Structure 1
Amino acid sequence: MMLVDYVVVGGGSAGCVVASRLSEDPDVTVCLLEAGPKDWHPAIHIPAGMLWLMFSRTLNWQFTTRAETELAGRQLFWPRGRMLGGSSSMNAMCYTRGHAADYDHWASLGNQGWGYADVLPYFKRSEHQERGASEFHGVGGPLNVMDFRQPNVLTQRYLEAAEQAGFPLNNDVNGAEQEGVGYFQVTQKNGRRCSAAKAFLSDEVRARPNLTILTGAQATRLLSQGRRITGVAFRQGRHQREVHAQAEVILCAGAVQSPQLLMLSGIGDSAHLHEHGINTLHHLPGVGRNLQDHLDVTLTYRSLQRVSSGLSWRNMLRMPGAVLQLLTSSSGFLTNNGAEGCGFIKSSPDEAIPDLQLHFMPASLRNHGRDLRFMTNEGFTMHVCQLRPKSRGRITLASTDPLKAPIIDAGYLTHPEDLQTLVKGFKQVRRIFASPAFDAYRGEEVAPGLDAISDEAIEQHIRQHAESIYHPSGTCRMGQGDMAVVDDQLRVHGVQGLRVVDASIMPTLIGGNTNAPTIMIGEKAADMILQARRRARLSGRHAAAPLAQSEGCEYAA
């Protein structure tokens, strides 16, 4: 039997942070379980490799939703990272934090310590901002944040066009003001991806004697004695194993699989558990509820000039030179994240804060980049998503088999205001693309095309073509009341020795990309856990036990 102080389930954006920060104390023993392999594949570290990762069945969970009633009955593709680093090892590396008002809203719901002034120090703590330290940015943290070295000329035209359309330029959407357009900053270092694993689980961290990292280890059930969670059962290869926690189990499996594991372990809505023959450990009806995601729709134009960064023959012929650039100067289009241009704008002047996010790509793209033939065309694409959806979905069990994916009912557009906001955003993007800055580059609109002019036609296009932009959250909501799952210390209501630390705890979805906020949640949670441990030590309630390696348990750092 393996016995440690803390078991961390899931080596994604939050789990890497928690395991790293807890194991900084040499007297604390930690075991990190990750279902996928180590982050060894070159496609993880070369930014342009994210396109290949969309197809991988080894490094990508390849989830799909059930048929979405408001999206023409389509099942939407939900890629999620299945390796150390989780989705931070395959995302577009966009560094955004959301709006300050998002966190103040969390605090207003009764979540003490989660206002913007409370969480900003944790954003800064994790960050090494290459521009230098400031009121809003930190240096010396593990997560490297940098500017693009060679943005595409089409992205430059986008910024000029947006300014011509009346949108302000903003050099730092994570600073004093979010509204405006600019270049994304990215989580890269020297032209390579800086995932949560690369940042927080460096070779030095992985070598710590008090940190055990088990890869290929999928959690199947939480172990308990009465109402106390005492460990985790997991499958590694053909073997069923267990690891026990003296202090706590910390669930960091993400908005899809954290609620799944809770339900498989008897924590959830008792009626739903009964349907699957699972004994209820604690009736917690909010588990899996409150699912939120950013729904995204794209517009693509042909480029009259051969300057885009897609899979054109021109770029394929340049590939040997691009590889040389990457190896010798950490530059070139292989360091491109795809989405270079950023925008936080308002759907109407009446909005208090931006309610739309733009991702500009100097390439033709649809279907998550899986339509490779479409990408061979010279073109440019804008993603537009509604930042604070009022629609809600749910995660439920499909089976008691922990190796089978749960049912994802995203509930997209079930609130009518979400569709109205997306239509307004669609029109704003067309207004930007019609600006003079694009005159020398703008070809025909190929998606959706000029047949989609009326609001009704735009609505139909959204229903038939909108997709996830990969920000599921909210399924283990932080707060109080019947539908809350964790308190503001991220402790699961009704049981002991268990916390959830990932994007699932967000009571409402933040207005931006979710990787940096999830890392912040990991930073804050680790701090809270270590503070609680220090208080317990002072009161004499806890004494750490040494790490005991379980017999025959494969070690994979």
Structure 2
Amino acid sequence: MADYDYIIAGGGTAGCILANRLTEGGQYRVLMLEAGRDASSMWVAIPAGFSKLMTDPRFNWGFQTEPEDNVKGRRIAVPRGKGLGGSSLINGMIYVRGQEQDYNAWEAAGAHGWAFRDVEPYFHKLENYAGGNARRGKNGPMYLEQVAERFPIAEAFLKAAAQDGHPYNDDYNDQDQEGFGYYQVLQHKGRRWSIADGYLNPVRNRKNLKIESNAHVVRLLIEHKRCTGVVYRKDGREVIVKANRETLVCLGAIQSPQLLELSGVGNPEVIQAHGIPVVHALKGVGENYIEHFATRMNWRVKNTVTLNEMSRGVSLAGHVARYYLQRKGILTLGTGLVHGFIKTSPELATPDVQYFFVHASYANAANRVLDKEPGMTIGVAQLRPESRGTIHIKSSSPFECPAIRPNFLDAPTDREALIKGMQIARRIVKQPAMQDYVSHEMNPGEDVNTFDEWLDFARSTGQTIYHPIGTCRMGVDPQAVTDPRLRVSGIEGLRVIDASVMPLMVSGNTQGAVMMVAEKGADMILQDAKA
């Protein structure tokens, strides 16, 4: 049994940032516990390696949703990173701040101190972006690059978007998000730049930081409404560690509510159903689950070479050689090449749909197997879904996946926005600039035209885009799990700091927002320690 000032449960995005910031100056002793391993695979550093890591159980927890009628009874994959660096090891590396209005809505919902004016300095603090203006950070630990590769079909798509009336936007993270352009990605000199690269690796040798990998936190120790530490399992045995100041839960929107419930914190009905004594009733745990739901429209293309062919045989060998010699080429690509943020109705104040364009198409999306013939794909996602789901334990075992029920497409607004987004995508592809490249629409196909037909396509084929949030949301109402300083309501010495505290979805990929939450959370911890 060892004592620390702070124990961090989880070595993902938020955990690595806290480990860095809380050990600055050497004043506090910090233990970080991560159930996964170190990022030892060569595929982690290669951006295109995400396609292999997404299906690798060494680096992906492999969660799945429960079958739900809203998606035709399908189970949908919910990849979550496993290892030091968390999901930043396996994700598509796309970086989006979100809209100013997103964070103002957080504050209006009770997350006081989280308006855009409050959070913008933390985005600036974490960014290291060569482009943009003074509003973008240029000296932070997280390198950002605009996608460097250019392809004729991508340029044609941008021209088609302009022909359809959409502006070009070179920096969607600078005030105005609307428009089309190339994505910004967390890369440095052609390599993935994970959270471990930016925050953890530079501080691994600090004497006041201890990192335990392959250490699965199974329970919080709570005595008289105070969290005093954790129990974790490593090498087949349980270990108890105590935190003199605070325990920080950073397991993400799926596993943070799971750990609270396994520890007796949550809805008494849920907890008692699995034989766990109730330590503290908190009905909001595991509620307010929000996730981006996306469809993938694709087309057979002509008169160009796409990733489908480039990633095979002799062509692939040439691209591999180019990558290792120059750090350029198709191996630098992630999940998105060209972005689009659009308004599906002119009366909207800000974009409500996001596009992910790439000149590739999957024969089997679940297994990341590309078509053999040339293809392109547009992923379509509603930015701020109103549907709400739940994540709750299914048993008292910390090693069993919780019941993930997203309740996708339950809200009428979600259905309408997604369908309009798909219709506009089809309209863009029909513009003159794309006609030299498009052969025919494969999915959903030109015979899909009515609202019900579009909705059936979405229900039958839609997937998550791996942005779970909200299950330990912050606020000031009785259903909030944490207060605006991320302290678990009614339990001293315990905070949750990760995507689960977000009360509402941000407009785009969520990793940027998680990094901001962790940076701001670290400041709050250090401020409170001095009080």
> For residues 113-143 of structure 1, what are the alpha-carbon distances to aligned partners after superposition, in whole Å with 9 as ceiling and x for unaligned?
10001100000101111226x3321111110
- Is residue 2:341 matched to residue 1:344? yes
Output the CA distance in 1 between the equivalents of 2:322 and 2:230. 46
**Matched residue, 1:532:** 528
Return the offset for 1:370: 1.6
**Matched residue, 1:33:** 33
> For residues 276-312 of structure 1, what are the alpha-carbon distances to aligned partners after superposition, in whole Å with 9 as ceiling and x for unaligned?
11111110000000000000001100110232123x2
Q: Are the counterparts in 2 of residues 338 and 362 from structure 1 also a CA contact under 8 Å?
A: no
**Matched residue, 1:46:** 46
**Matched residue, 2:323:** 326
Output the CA distance in 2 between the equivalents of 1:46 and 1:6. 33
Alignment of 1:475-554 (within 5 A): 475-535=471-531
Return the offset for 1:530: 0.7
Q: Are the counterparts in 1 of residues 110 and 474 from structure 2 also a CA contact under 8 Å?
A: no
Q: Is the partner of 1:508 in helix, strand or coil?
A: coil
Q: Are the counterparts in 1 of residues 310 and 316 from structure 2 also a CA contact under 8 Å?
A: no
The one-letter code sitting in structure 1 at the alignment partner of 2:334 is N
**Matched residue, 1:237:** 235
The one-letter code sitting in structure 1 at the alignment partner of 2:143 is N
The one-letter code sitting in structure 2 at the alignment partner of 1:49 is G
**401, 404, 407: which one pairs with 1:408?**
404
**Matched residue, 2:361:** 364
Q: Is the partner of 2:70 in helix, strand or coil?
A: coil
Percent identity, aligned pairs only, is 40
Alignment of 1:110-509 (within 5 A): 110-131=110-131, 134-202=133-201, 204-310=202-308, 312=309, 315-365=312-362, 368=365, 370-372=367-369, 374-509=370-505
Go from structure 1 to structure 2 and tell me whether the alpha carbon gap of 1:375 and 1:212 turns closer, same or farther (over 3 Å shift). farther
Output the CA distance in 1 between the equivalents of 2:208 and 2:363. 45
4+ residue stretches of structure 1 with deviation over 3 A? 313-316, 366-369
> For residues 332-390 of structure 1, what are the alpha-carbon distances to aligned partners after superposition, in whole Å with 9 as ceiling and x for unaligned?
11111131111110111121111101111111136545251x43221110001011111
- Is residue 2:55 matched to residue 1:55? yes
Output the CA distance in 1 between the equivalents of 2:368 and 2:484. 43
> For residues 386-413 of structure 1, what are the alpha-carbon distances to aligned partners after superposition, in whole Å with 9 as ceiling and x for unaligned?
1111110001111100011100011111
In the alignment of these two chains, the number of paired residues is 531
Return the offset for 1:451: 2.1
Go from structure 1 to structure 2 and tell me whether the alpha carbon gap of 1:162 and 1:491 turns closer, same or farther (over 3 Å shift). same
Q: Are the counterparts in 2 of residues 54 and 368 from structure 1 also a CA contact under 8 Å?
A: no
Gaps of 5+ in 2: none
**Matched residue, 1:555:** none
The one-letter code sitting in structure 2 at the alignment partner of 1:52 is K
Q: Are the counterparts in 1 of residues 391 and 405 from structure 2 also a CA contact under 8 Å?
A: yes
Alignment of 1:4-15 (within 5 A): 4-15=4-15
Taking structure 2 as the reference length, the TM-score comes to: 0.98
Q: Are the counterparts in 1 of residues 110 and 477 from structure 2 also a CA contact under 8 Å?
A: no
The one-letter code sitting in structure 1 at the alignment partner of 2:351 is P
The one-letter code sitting in structure 2 at the alignment partner of 1:34 is E
The one-letter code sitting in structure 1 at the alignment partner of 2:410 is T
Q: Are the counterparts in 1 of residues 11 and 84 from structure 2 also a CA contact under 8 Å?
A: yes
Return the offset for 1:422: 0.8
> For residues 473-532 of structure 1, what are the alpha-carbon distances to aligned partners after superposition, in whole Å with 9 as ceiling and x for unaligned?
000011011210000000000100000000100101111100010000000000111111
Output the CA distance in 1 between the equivalents of 2:478 and 2:321. 57
Return the offset for 1:416: 2.0
Output the CA distance in 1 between the equivalents of 2:148 and 2:411. 41
Q: Are the counterparts in 2 of residues 221 and 232 from structure 1 also a CA contact under 8 Å?
A: yes
Output the CA distance in 2 between the equivalents of 1:164 and 1:237. 60
